[in-house]
Amino acid sequence: MTTRKELTKAIGARYRAAPKSEKQKILDEFVALTGCHRKHAIRALNGMRAADVEEKGRNRVYDEATRQALIMLWEAADRVCGKRLKALVPMLIDAMERHGHLELDLIVKDKVLAVSAATIDRMLAGTRLQIDGQRKRRKGIGAAIRRSIPVRTFADWGDPPPGFFEIDMVEHYNGPKTDGDYLHTLVLTDIASGWTECIAMRHRSQALVIEGLATAAEDLLFPMLGVDSDNDSAFMTQDVFDYCVAHRLVQTRSRAYKKNDQAWVEQKNGAIVRRLVGYGRLSGSEATKTLAQLYASSRLYINFFQPSFKLKSKTRDGARVKKVYHPPATPCDRLIAHPAVDPTVKADLAAQFLALDPVRLLQQIRIVQQALSDIATYGPPAQQATPTASPSPSPTPIAEFLSSLSTAWKEGEVRPTHRKKSNAPRWWRTRVNPFAEAWPVIEGWLDADPSASANELMDRLAAMTPEVYGSKAQLRTLQRRVGEWRSERAKEMVLGSLRKAGAKTVEHQ
């Protein structure tokens, strides 16, 4: 990001000082180098921010009532595309009105019949986004870095030697994000052996990604040859690209929204990270240190004493897929058996294996998991001096811990970080409604002036009760409530008469 800003600043100074005849050449060079849109390049080179660009206003032809009518017709048409819906709208309106399912206002009906297919897709874009949750990736200056990194799919790996890692990040939070940065885990999984390294990061940052790659390379007994990541903006940066070039790492990326391209590391996200850490909310330096302690013990336990399956072949017979796996083996065993690994590395792995005690490692994991669970539940140790906080248990002797393994199954789940998810739907409010008392007043203002914006309503509330709404911190909530109110009014315009008729029918019955 810093390199891009410096490039824009350097070329921008030359662009602004150049005569009009040379500006086009400079602009062409900048667009070809960065890959950004030409209009964005002009604004960037002129030193204009997005907020400084004056938006051209235009009169809206189609209002919320038209959009609500289109949504109903789109649902009735089984969510077809805009071009097909455009051809179907006249017949669908006629059929629904003939059977008493729809009674559109004449103005709304004329607009629905006149709307084009492209406008239908634009008006329904937000509705479709609510269904699948996918969006088009924003393109800009960062697209040049993404284009310079080749794509590697699941089928392109073949049988690589040890040292090629898939990398991914796991964020440690549970529920809606409220404030601050949450801990992340940088996960690296070797394709050939399944060797997995987990690095605790204080927050999501490209600098910490580079530091995590360097830390993992120092801990490994075999050389790191390449990294394959997804299209996360923390990976698709100039600094990470330069680090891979400087250390001769082959950098590749997966396709956007194709998690199967990173099947190995995605499997480890659940089988290792979530199994060890759980789904608690972790933030702060103390939680980072505790998580790093957990990974220091678990990396040895998992890579030396946890066998895993590895896919050998996959064949398809019609709709049936048959998978054949290699016999279960630990990552250490696979490295020792691999012909491409240096004999010195194999000897070091064998010596390290003989020095490790799996029971002691498991005990250390359980102790740190308990500390991590306390942080996720009660906060850092400095904030745990409360009656509800339970003190961390003192480490038990290794012999006592070993004897407890034979009866641990009676206690059920023994991992302190494990939390059962509630299947019951949440019906309660997590926050106090800031407009519980003021909403009747706001609704009266909207009835008197439906075109009033949320900003205007917020200013009125701040002037009326400055002690409550003077800071205007509730503006975003008010914008959502006003949008919901307008949506309900638009529905009444489309179905108002039908609802009245239905109410009369119920009264007669």
Residue spans of the domains in the chain: they are 2-52, 64-132, 162-312+322-381, 439-508
Q: Provide the pLDDT for residue 385.
A: 54
Helix, strand, coil distribution of the chain in percent, nearest 5: 55, 10, 35
CA dist., res. 244 & res. 213, Å (int): 10
Q: How far apart are the first and last CA of the chain?
A: 68
Looking from the CA of 422 toward its CB, the CA atoms found within 13 Å total 6
Fold of 162-312+322-381: Nucleotidyltransferase; domain 5 (3.30.420)
Ordered DSSP codes for 329-366: B-HHHHHHH-TTS-HHHHHHHHHHHHH--HHHHHHHHH
CA 169, CA 184: separation in Å to the nearest integer?
6
* C-alpha span between 197 and 227 (Å, rounded): 13
Please give the Cα distance from 149 to 241 (Å, whole number): 8
Rg of the Cα atoms in the chain: 30
Give the sheet arrangement for strand 250-253, strand by strand: 196-201, 184-190, 164-171, 226-229, 250-253
Grouping H, G, I as helix, E, B as strand and the rest as coil, residue 319 is coil
**Amino acid of residue 88:** L
**What is the distance between the alpha carbons of residues 60 and 252, in angstroms, rounded to a whole number?**
45
Two tokens at 175?
Answer: 């529920």
Q: Which long-range contacts (CB under 8 A, 24 or more apart) does 27-35 make?
A: 33/7, 33/144, 34/4, 34/7, 34/141, 34/143, 34/144, 35/139, 35/141, 35/143, 35/144, 35/147
* Cα 466 versus chain centre, distance: 38
Confidence (pLDDT) at 346: 95
* Residue 220: DSSP 8-state: -
| C-alpha–C-alpha distance, residues 346 and 221, integer Å | 9
pLDDT means per 10 residues, the chain with 509 residues, are: 70 85 85 81 75 56 89 88 90 89 88 92 87 58 79 87 95 73 93 95 92 95 95 91 94 91 92 91 91 94 92 88 91 94 95 92 92 86 55 69 80 76 68 88 91 92 91 92 88 63 48
pLDDT, residue 500, reads 53
Q: Which residues contact 416 (CB under 8 A, 6 or more apart)?
A: 366, 369, 370, 372, 373
Report which of 31, 32, 57, 25 is spatially closest to residue 44, judged by C-alpha positions: 31
Closest CA to 274 of 176, 378, 419: 419
The answer to whether 335 touches 348, Cβ cutoff 8 Å, is no
pLDDT at 387: 45
Partners of 184 in beta bridges: 171, 201
Q: Give the model's pLDDT for residue 507.
A: 47
3-state secondary structure at position 204: coil
pLDDT at 142: 62
- List residues bridging with 253 in a β-sheet: 151, 229
Count of CB atoms situated within 10 Å of the CB of 34: 21
Six-digit token string for 274? 């979530």
pTM metric for this prediction = 0.58
**Number of C-beta neighbours around residue 332 at 10 A:** 23
